[in-house]
Amino acid sequence: MVHARAPGKINVFLKVGSLLEDGYHDVASAYQAVSLYEDVRAWPADDFSVSASGTVDLSSVPTDGSNIAIKAARLLARRTDYRGGVRLEIEKHVPVAGGMGGGSADAAATLLACDALWATGLSREDLLALATELGSDVPFSFTGGTAIGTGRGDQLSPALAKGTFQWVLAVADFGLSTPTVYQELDRHRVRHSQDIFPAPVAPSVDANVLQALRAGDPHMLAETLYNDLQAPALHLEPSLAKVLELGEQNGALAGIVSGSGPTIAFLAADLDSALELQIALSAARLTVVRATGPVHGARIIGD
Ligand code: C5P
């Protein structure tokens, strides 16, 4: 058995450019890996199977070939001419369909686990190339830390970061589909005419974000949190606006929709204010988890 672990993420900055011909958008994002992990255990088997357990709502996690972990294992087997299969068990801690890259972490951890189990001999670069084929956020879960993503979000360059940021996450009891949120953004841009809200031609990450990450200063980072998918996510789920408000009234430096949502990520000044915020949001009957970032990317925990 091989046990691999990969982190979820928060996009502390996400600018969405135009819709490209392949159906993807040109983006510029600053990713931070956070301490919510997906644990994947892999056993040798004749065919491919997956089961899920964990601390999050598992009701929408598929256990057939449409599960991204199975896709990852099959892709690796195909590319390395591996004849057998694998039995995968995923222990999930990243909210499902929450905008925090839980499925991407499953794919990244599965690639690493199967690579070790099958002793494929692939290089890190080979695995990263496979990660890119599986989804825009999979390479980042593989590398972790803090990084800038361009293209679909999969062209990564590391960013300097200091210290540890404290996050409080309000987890919704529903999911949002990433393509639906992107489509809502496109519709919004058409409704309000490209002249008024033009899609940035070549989106880039604001220099202030990089400076805040380099300084390890949560107050600075709070000023620069930005997500183009926030407005469409709020339009699709207006109840999220109240959650954002509640966090900001209870000591959060700032709140942001994580990725395509619906998880809301609140940045706290320090551990004490994060704990206070967690208590206040829990008292308002929200599902709340704390996380810190940045953390390492996918790695083997043991066998
Ligand atoms: O790459 P991934 O499978 O995570 O993307 C899911 C969907 O999100 C895509 O099919 C696309 O609709 C949307 N997307 C996008 N532009 C990106 C990343 C994702 O439009 N850069």
User: What percent helix, strand, coil does the chain show, rounded to 5?
Assistant: 35, 30, 30
137 is catalytic: yes
Q: Give the mutation target among 178, 185, 229 for probing the ligand 1 site: most ligand atoms within 8 A of CB.
A: 178
Q: pLDDT at position 196, please?
A: 56
In order along the chain (303 residues), what is the average pLDDT of each group of 10 residues? 98 95 95 98 98 94 97 98 97 96 98 98 96 98 98 96 98 95 92 65 94 98 98 98 98 98 98 98 98 98 83
Give the global pTM: 0.96
The CA 156 to ligand 1 mean position distance, Å, reads 16
CA of 267 to the centre of ligand 1 (A): 26
Helix (H, G, I), strand (E, B) or coil at 85: strand
Question: Ligand 1: which residue has its CA nearest to atom 19?
Answer: 24
Sheet holding 165-171, edge to edge: 254-257, 264-268, 165-171, 287-293
Q: Which of 9, 15, 71, 92 is catalytic?
A: 9
Residue 49: its pLDDT value, please? 98
Tokens representing residue 140 in the block: 């980042």
Query: Residue 189's pLDDT is what?
Result: 86
Q: Is the CB of 135 within 6 Å of ligand 1?
A: yes
Q: In this predicted structure, what is the pLDDT of residue 155?
A: 97
Return phi, psi of residue 171, to 5°: -95, 125
pLDDT at 300: 97
Q: In the chain, what percentage of residues exceed pLDDT 70?
A: 97
Which residue has a Cα nearest atom 7 of ligand 1? 179
